[in-house]
Chain A
Amino acid sequence: MKKRLLAGILAFCLAGTSLVGCGGASKGGTDRSESNEIVIGISQDLDQSLDPHVTVAAGTKEVMFNVFEGLVKYDPDGNTIPAVASDYEISDDGLTYTFTLREGVKFHNGETVDLDDVIYSIERCKTDPNVNPQTSTGLQCIDSLEKKDDTTLVIKLSEPNTELMSLLTLAILPDDYDKQDTQPVGTGPYKYVSRTAQENVVLERFEDYWGTPGNIDKVTYKIEEKAESLVLGLESGALDLVSHLTTTQTNELDKSDFNIETGSMNLVQALYLNNARAPFDDELVRQALCYAIDRQYILDMAFDGYGYPIGSNVFPSFKKYFDDSLTDYYTVDIDKAKELLAEAGYPDGFSMTITVPSNYQPHCDTAEVIVDELKKINVTATVKKVEWDTWLDETYKNRDFDSTVIGLTADPLTARSLLERFKSDADNNFMNYNDAEYDELFAKAIKTYDDEEQVKVYKAMEKNLTEHAANVYIQDMADMIAIRKGLTGLTFYPLYVLDVSTLKWE
């Protein structure tokens, strides 16, 4: 017995020393303000390939936004402004775009950007089968890329495309460099230094940047897949900034050390349903779920009321295409939901699984509230938490799931990139939405050159998604960002990105 007592005391001492260890690290924040570096916590590792034309995960783009630039790039209002190009002109018929290359723009490997690099990058996005289809399909309207002189590029289109400028935010890469997937090279204010899988990604300020250079010398992204670790990391001083937190998490933080900034995540969070799998292949069942799930209740329960309810696949900050009338298309009506289920042949409800990536605490919380809500219509839902890689493989690529809670972003920031994924044969239509009318509308939308007309068609597509209850749309999540006191310059974009070039220690 004495031995055990001793063991117990020793165990306590060990636990004690590890806590002391945590305490000692809390000076890290100030040390880093002296060495002018920051550590940002992120909740998932980047894609296997870092090649910007290939990556699909929003979390990867969020980081690499600082490394790559296109001919044009987004400003904080969501407009496209010149970047690698210094100027551009669009002909009146919308068929000819003339870009002037900015002088002396350098790649991170020291080479100067020339028009061949630009042409290579656009051509690659248009033709390479590995390229993210959200970009490549839009670029098919490009007829020719012509080098008028050393600094003037003329792009001729076969048909006008109102979204071309957004597409031309595609990263400009050197034409003679083949290690983009492991050691990417771009023209942005920060250059990629290294990564350790599941551990961290390191960026450094690019001294030869053409524009306003970044303030921070070194940016380390630390990967913490457990939501708690992000909060503990902030508290212990290991992390300086973490985005996409929930209010439960920010409440844990000591407000004398951190500022909490609130923006919106610019994504569509929904309970995405596998439209090809019973019982979700039945529109009545999907509608029943829409009537049963109370979005405001989810916001109140899991997000302390923060968030912006939505009714279709567009988020509110994308004002041009957002149709507010769809937000309340389905109002909570449990009786109606039960009737619809009975009509569909499930009077006693059914069982379903909600797959969620375990590293996204907000999605896990949402799923748990949905489970609670579905009990009211006798639907027994179970949450299945999986690793991010498993989610990408099984849910996104193999489409092997009942339903999933996830947030979808727009990249490039076009209505097309948000809505094309519901075309029945789209590669990224992982929810297997299949509606002939929708496909027709989409075909019409990309053939419509009048901006106003096109917006109408896109809105009709949004309405189609809502009416057929393609998925249960929930919200554009509020983005809680914890940022260490003394660190300023946080800029919000209508995109899922974090611009580190404007951050600085005071």
Chain B
Amino acid sequence: MMKKKIWNGYLIAGLVITSIVLIWIIVGQFYTPYDPTQMTGAKLQAPSAAHLFGTDKFGRDIFSRVMSGAGTTLLVAVATIGIGAVAGTLIGALTGYFGGYVDEVLMRLNDVLTAFPSILLGLVVISILGPGKYNVILALGIVFIPGYARLMRTAFASQREINYIISAQLMGASTARILAIHMLPNTFSTLLPALTIGFNNAVLAEASMSFLGIGVMPPDISLGYMLSESQGMLRTAPWYALSVGTVIAVLVFGVGMIGEGIQRIGKEDL
């Protein structure tokens, strides 16, 4: 058998872009040029050598705020798809492998969750829990479960009748072993691209929730919160919205390229 061709342009470009952004964000958690919450008299200044992205309405350095706030966004995104993917895979594995009543009950519950538009569902959870960083994670995590559950159910169900699984069953392997050791690795080609798309959706969902004023609360900063803040100053400080928006776009673009790259592993270059 020919060795799978792993590296392709999409994957490499995606990894390079994402790593640069990630390193920048991780540095931002330990060091920023200015204290991101320090207010100064230099309000709404245009980008300059001292303030690369300019300053906001309280005279805070936007470059430092974006570095620090992107960390919150990243945390929310990673934790959210963490919750969504783990719970979704679990549900998908159970329903896909067993079928029958388990399948019916869980997937119908799943349908109920999918019936709500995701932002609305997030809103409901937030209105019960109250706003804040961790509640946003929980809310978005719940919102993300149904999608993964449906996807993983298909991935598991498609293997159920395949010979090697039947052999494993005949050899007396436990259900847990079959699911985790035999079936799970074979779902990765479905799961990994879904994770990258999910990550992007989570970044954007956090941004929309904070944008709507139901996400993180000051003094916490996130990209979405800043975007919402910048909205009122589009004319006087356009650099604010632009710099935050650009960072979101680059991050999402980079991870999107990785996802595209993973899907193309082993395929001919197009």
Q: State the A residues within 8 Å of B (CB).
A: 1, 226-228, 231, 248-249, 251-252, 300-302, 358, 361, 365, 367-369, 371-372, 375, 381-385
Is B232 interfacial (CB-CB < 8 Å)? Answer: yes
Is B184 interfacial (CB-CB < 8 Å)? Answer: no
A408 CB to closest chain B CB (Å) equals 23
Contact of B217 among A248, A301, A372, A383 (CB under 8 A): A383
Q: In the bound complex, do residue A369 and residue B58 qualify as a contact, i.e. CB atoms below 8 Å apart?
A: yes
Contact of B233 among A248, A300, A369, A383 (CB under 8 A): A248
Is B39 interfacial (CB-CB < 8 Å)? Answer: yes
Given known contacts A300-B41, A385-B131, A251 and B236 CB-to-CB distance under 8 angstroms = yes
Contacts of B82 in A (CB 8 A): none
Contacts of A372 in B (CB 8 A): 37-39, 58, 219
Q: A226-B213, A248-B232, A372-B38 are in contact. List 18 more A-B contacts (CB 8 A).
A: A228-B232, A248-B233, A249-B232, A252-B232, A252-B233, A252-B234, A252-B236, A301-B39, A358-B213, A361-B232, A365-B57, A368-B219, A371-B37, A372-B37, A382-B219, A383-B218, A384-B131, A385-B217
Nearest neighbor of A358 in chain B, beta-carbon distance:
B213
Is B99 interfacial (CB-CB < 8 Å)? Answer: no
**In the bound complex, how far is the Cα of B220 from the Cα of A308, in angstroms?**
30
Nearest neighbor of A375 in chain B, beta-carbon distance:
B37
Contacts of A228 in B (CB 8 A): 231-232
Q: State the B residues within 8 Å of A (CB).
A: 37-39, 41, 43, 57-59, 130-132, 213, 217-220, 231-236, 270
Contacts of A226 in B (CB 8 A): 213
Contacts of A369 in B (CB 8 A): 39, 58
**In the bound complex, how far is the Cα of B234 from the Cα of A301, in angstroms?**
19
Q: Which of B37, B59, B131, B213 has the most CB of A within 10 A?
A: B213
A193 CB to closest chain B CB (Å) equals 31
Q: In the bound complex, do residue B232 and residue A371 qualify as a contact, i.e. CB atoms below 8 Å apart?
A: no
A43 CB to closest chain B CB (Å) equals 13
Given known contacts A248-B57, A248-B236, A301-B58, A384 and B130 CB-to-CB distance under 8 angstroms = yes
**In the bound complex, how far is the Cα of B41 from the Cα of A361, in angstroms?**
20
Contacts of B130 in A (CB 8 A): 384
Contacts of B59 in A (CB 8 A): 301
Contacts of A231 in B (CB 8 A): 232
**In the bound complex, how far is the Cα of B233 from the Cα of A227, in angstroms?**
11
**In the bound complex, how far is the Cα of B270 from the Cα of A372, in angstroms?**
54
**In the bound complex, how far is the Cα of B130 from the Cα of A322, in angstroms?**
39
B41 CB to closest chain A CB (Å) equals 7
A501 CB to closest chain B CB (Å) equals 31
Nearest neighbor of B60 in chain A, beta-carbon distance:
A372
Nearest neighbor of A302 in chain B, beta-carbon distance:
B58
Chain B interface mostly: loop
Contacts of B39 in A (CB 8 A): 301, 369, 372
Contacts of A365 in B (CB 8 A): 57-58
Contacts of A361 in B (CB 8 A): 232
Nearest neighbor of A353 in chain B, beta-carbon distance:
B217
Pairs A–B under 8 Å by Cβ, sample size 19: A1-B270, A228-B231, A248-B232, A251-B236, A252-B232, A252-B233, A300-B41, A361-B232, A367-B218, A371-B219, A372-B58, A372-B219, A382-B217, A382-B219, A383-B218, A384-B132, A384-B217, A385-B131, A385-B213
Q: Which of A227, A365, A384 has the most CB of B within 10 A?
A: A384
Nearest neighbor of A235 in chain B, beta-carbon distance:
B235
**In the bound complex, how far is the Cα of B220 from the Cα of A361, in angstroms?**
18
**In the bound complex, how far is the Cα of B40 from the Cα of A395, in angstroms?**
32
Q: In the bound complex, do residue B218 and residue A252 qualify as a contact, i.e. CB atoms below 8 Å apart?
A: no
**In the bound complex, how far is the Cα of B9 from the Cα of A1, in angstroms?**
14
Nearest neighbor of B41 in chain A, beta-carbon distance:
A300
A332 CB to closest chain B CB (Å) equals 15
B72 CB to closest chain A CB (Å) equals 14
Contacts of B233 in A (CB 8 A): 248, 252
Nearest neighbor of B57 in chain A, beta-carbon distance:
A248
**In the bound complex, how far is the Cα of B232 from the Cα of A251, in angstroms?**
10
B44 CB to closest chain A CB (Å) equals 8
Contacts of B131 in A (CB 8 A): 384-385
Contacts of B37 in A (CB 8 A): 371-372, 375
B210 CB to closest chain A CB (Å) equals 11
**In the bound complex, how far is the Cα of B233 from the Cα of A294, in angstroms?**
26
Contacts of B231 in A (CB 8 A): 228
Contacts of B220 in A (CB 8 A): 382
Nearest neighbor of A231 in chain B, beta-carbon distance:
B232
B238 CB to closest chain A CB (Å) equals 11
**In the bound complex, how far is the Cα of B219 from the Cα of A302, in angstroms?**
15
Given known contacts A301-B39, A369-B39, A372-B39, A227 and B217 CB-to-CB distance under 8 angstroms = no
A387 CB to closest chain B CB (Å) equals 9
Contacts of B235 in A (CB 8 A): 252
**In the bound complex, how far is the Cα of B232 from the Cα of A226, in angstroms?**
10
Q: In the bound complex, do residue B213 and residue A227 qualify as a contact, i.e. CB atoms below 8 Å apart?
A: no
Q: In the bound complex, do residue B58 and residue A368 qualify as a contact, i.e. CB atoms below 8 Å apart?
A: yes
4 closest A-B pairs by CB: A228-B232, A383-B218, A228-B231, A252-B235
B260 CB to closest chain A CB (Å) equals 8
**In the bound complex, how far is the Cα of B57 from the Cα of A249, in angstroms?**
11
B187 CB to closest chain A CB (Å) equals 25
A168 CB to closest chain B CB (Å) equals 42
Contacts of A251 in B (CB 8 A): 236
Contacts of A249 in B (CB 8 A): 232
**In the bound complex, how far is the Cα of B232 from the Cα of A252, in angstroms?**
8
B36 CB to closest chain A CB (Å) equals 11
Given known contacts A252-B233, A372-B39, A383 and B213 CB-to-CB distance under 8 angstroms = no
**In the bound complex, how far is the Cα of B234 from the Cα of A248, in angstroms?**
11
Q: Which of A227, A228, A361, A367 has the most CB of B within 10 A?
A: A228
Contacts of A248 in B (CB 8 A): 57, 232-233, 236
**In the bound complex, how far is the Cα of B270 from the Cα of A300, in angstroms?**
59
B181 CB to closest chain A CB (Å) equals 36
B57 CB to closest chain A CB (Å) equals 5
Contacts of A252 in B (CB 8 A): 232-236
A349 CB to closest chain B CB (Å) equals 14
**In the bound complex, how far is the Cα of B218 from the Cα of A381, in angstroms?**
9
